[in-house]
Amino acid sequence: MKPVVLGMFLMGLAVLAGSATAAPDPASWRPTSIPGPALFVGEVTGTEEFRNPPGVDYACHAVMSGPHKNSSPCVSNACGLERITIKMERVIQGDVPPKPSLYAIVGEFCAGVSVTRRKFLIAVLPDGNWSAFEVIDDDGRTLALPDITGCLGKVDVPALLQQSGVEMDSATSPAMDWRKKWTLAMGEDCPRWMPESLDRKALPMDSVISAWKAIY
């Protein structure tokens, strides 16, 4: 290989190596570094997957072997962690940087979510967890489609869907798999799952934002 060509090849490898981002710490990672409550609209610019290395479980925040071993109990069949990078377009509430990152658990089949260049309304709850509504243009109307939990903190999303939800045929298509994978664990702010009868409905964007602002 000629010296000039070899030099360009090595420079290319260096750029690739420099652009790689470090894996999150398996024990101390958080769903997002953005403090809640926050609400913003952004486009997904990329996703990265981090598989559980030996002796580590991202889902449990646990290291089970080696010098950094902790005593956290771990019962999980998750494969690892996914980092979602967002290009922020509109901040509605909170302190949001231009390119925030979100984290989601990757399930046992090691299948992440591919939604690059799609737009989402992201809510960061006071406890640091986050939920997503896909922003969809429907004949000039801007709609927000929730995940299958319908969780938006203390906002009663099922009631809003019953009142003003818009039926969407595409809501259960394979392209909407993110709805099943980007889901919060049920807890104090999200005590129940959204009824299946509502999982094909989206909401006018303005109504979601107004309901959020009324509480947060």
Decide if 189 is inside a domain: yes
Decide if 17 is inside a domain: no
Residue 35's nearest CA partner among 173, 216, 171 is 216
pLDDT digits (tens, 9 = 90+) for 61-72: 888 665 666 656
C-alpha span between 161 and 144 (Å, rounded)? 11
Q: What amino acid is encoded at 98 in this protein?
A: P
Decide if 77 is inside a domain: yes
Domain ranges, residue 48: 23-215
Decide if 178 is inside a domain: yes
Q: How many domains does the chain have?
A: 1
pLDDT digits (tens, 9 = 90+) for 9-32: 333 333 333 345 788 998 899 999
Geometric angle at alpha carbon 56, from 55 and 60, rounded to 5°:
130
Decide if 2 is inside a domain: no
pTM of the model: 0.85
Tokens read off for 185: 């664990």
C-alpha span between 201 and 136 (Å, rounded)? 12
pLDDT digits (tens, 9 = 90+) for 181-215: 998 766 667 767 889 999 999 999 999 999 999 99
